[in-house]
Amino acid sequence: MTPEDLADAPLLDDYYVLPHGDVAVLFGNVSGHPTLRGYITTSRVTAMDAEAGWAETLNRTYRLGSPYVKPRQTYLEELIATAPSVAPDIDIEAAKRAWEDDPSLPPWRP
């Protein structure tokens, strides 16, 4: 994919890959699309290089902005919900404190 290929491509921000049957599509907030605005679901992804910042679908090429980052609260809620069945002896309060102290984990988002 060349810079020329991406020059007029819409930007898909806050995106993530979404399984759709036996294929994958992208969901995200689009800007610069000729007809669509806001959050969209793309057609089937045919090629993608997230590091290079682009994705090709059946209908169009997209520049990729920031991927969706799951809010920390969701991670904690999932941990609390699954801990009793996965690891009954886990100390939930200690896990929460460890999360708060780890700068490598995703930040809180509203």
Q: Report whether 15 contacts 67 (CB < 8 A).
A: yes
Model confidence pLDDT, tens digit, residues 54-95: 999 999 999 999 998 766 666 667 666 666 665 566 666 776
Q: Report whether 43 contacts 95 (CB < 8 A).
A: no
Q: Using a cut of 0.75, tell me whether the model's pTM lies above it.
A: no
Q: Count H helices and E strands in the chain, helices first.
A: 3, 6
**Reported confidence tier of residue 110, pLDDT bands at 50, 70, 90:** very low
Residues 6+ apart with CB under 8 A from 54: 1, 5, 6, 9, 48, 61, 62, 63, 64
What are the phi and psi torsion angles at 73 (to 5°)? -60, -35
Q: Report whether 13 contacts 66 (CB < 8 A).
A: yes
pLDDT of residue 32: 94
Please state the domain extents for the chain. Answer: 3-64, 72-101
Rounded mean pLDDT of 16-21? 86
pLDDT of residue 73: 66
